[in-house]
Amino acid sequence: MSGRLAGKTALVTGAARGIGRACALRFAEEGADVALVDIARDVPGVPYPGARREQLDETARLVAERGVRTLALPADVTDTVSIGAAVEAAIQDLGHIDVLVTAAGIDSWGKAWELTDEQWQKMLDVNLTGVWKTARAVSPNMIARKKGAIVFIGSVLSHRANKEFAHYTAAKHGVLGLTRAFGLELAPFGVRVNSVDPTVVFTDMVMNQAYLDRLGGHPGTTLDEAREYYLRWNTLPIPWTEPVDIANAALFLASEEARAITGVALPVDLGALLK
Ligand SMILES: NC(=O)c1ccc[n+]([C@@H]2O[C@H](COP(=O)([O-])OP(=O)(O)OC[C@H]3O[C@@H](n4cnc5c(N)ncnc54)[C@H](O)[C@@H]3O)[C@@H](O)[C@H]2O)c1
C-alpha cells in the first residue's frame, strides 16, 4: 500500500458515522490499517438518535474496500474497562497503534443556568473524560515505541462560547487543555498531540430535526433556514464543512508532514473564529 500513512495503524473513536467515519476512510485511502471504535447505540439524554451497529460495520466494510486491514470494536469511551479492552484488541490484531483520533462525542443544549446534573455530567463524561480515557489507554503503546500521533477532535467552542452550550463549551475547552498537557508530556517520547477544531460539520449531530428546531427557534426549521444562520456564523461564504474537510486536517496532523507540530489546535472553521 502506498500513501501518506502507508504501513501505519490507526484507532479512530466515533467511527460509526460522521467525522470519525470520514477519518477512518481517509486514513485507509492513505494506506493505514484502521481499528474502529464506537458505542453504536443511543446515548441516554442525547436528543437525537445514536449510531447503530450496522453503521459501524458499514464503516468497516468501506475501510476494507480500500484494501487495508480493519476491525470494528463496539466500546464506550467513558468506561475504563470497555475502552481499555478495545485498545488492547486493536493492538493484538494490528500489532500497535501509530495514530489515534478521538471523534466520539455527543451534543445536547440548554441555558447555562438550566442544564440538569445529568446533561452536565454526561457531556463531561463523553466529550472530555472519554477523550482522556482513550488517550490514556493508547499512550503506553506509543511511549514504548517512541512514536505516534494523537489528534483530538475539538471544536470552535474550544476557543469561544455559544449560547445554550455551556457544558459543551467547557468540555471542549478541556480538550484544548488535554491537547497541551498530553503534547507536553508525550513530546519526549516522540509522540505528537494536536487537535482539529471544526465549525459546524454536516453530520447527524447537528443535522437532525431537534437541533435544527433549537437553531431556528421553532418546530419544523428547514435546512435552508439553517444555511442562512450558518452563513452569518462563519466568515467564508460557505454554510458548513463536510466530514472529509475535518478528516483532511486530521490526516495532515497524523502524517509525517506535520512532524514538527505538537500541542496546537487547528481550527477548520470557515473563518468563524475571526468574528
Ligand atoms: N458536527 C459538528 O458540527 C461538529 C462541530 C465541531 C465539533 N464536532 C465534534 O466532532 C466529533 C464527532 O462528531 P460528529 O459530528 O461526527 O457526530 P456524530 O454524532 O455523527 O458522531 C459521533 C459518534 O460518536 C459515537 N459516540 C457517542 N458517545 C460515545 C461513547 N460514549 N463511546 C464511543 N462512541 C461514542 C456515536 O455513536 C457517533 O457514532 C465530536 O467530538 C463533536 O463534538 C462536531
pLDDT per residue of the chain (275 residues) written in tens, 0 to 9: 789 999 999 999 999 999 999 999 999 999 999 999 999 999 999 999 999 999 999 999 999 999 999 999 999 999 999 999 999 999 999 999 999 999 999 999 999 999 999 999 999 999 999 999 999 999 999 999 999 999 999 999 999 999 999 999 999 999 999 999 999 999 999 999 999 999 999 999 999 999 999 999 999 999 999 999 999 999 999 999 999 999 999 999 999 999 999 999 999 999 999 99
Domains with residue ranges and CATH for the chain: 9-198+244-267 (3.40.50.720), 205-240 (no CATH)
Say if ligand 1 is within 6 A of residue 239 CB: no
CA distances in angstroms from 158 to 63, 154, 161, 212, 228, listed in the order given: 30, 6, 8, 22, 24
Q: Which three cell numbers stand for residue 105?
A: 462525542
Cα distance between residue 86 and residue 106, in whole Å:
20
Dist. CA 201 → ligand 1 center (Å): 10
CA distances in angstroms from 185 to 80, 180, 190, 258, listed in the order given: 21, 9, 10, 18
Cα distance between residue 26 and residue 227, in whole Å:
26
Q: Which of 21, 82, 106 to mutate to test the pocket of ligand 1 (most atoms within 8 A of CB)?
A: 106
pTM > 0.95: yes or no: yes
CA distances in angstroms from 38 to 59, 248, 271, listed in the order given: 11, 21, 30
Identity of the amino acid at 54: E
Q: Which three cell numbers stand for residue 13?
A: 473513536
Say if ligand 1 is within 6 A of residue 104 CB: yes
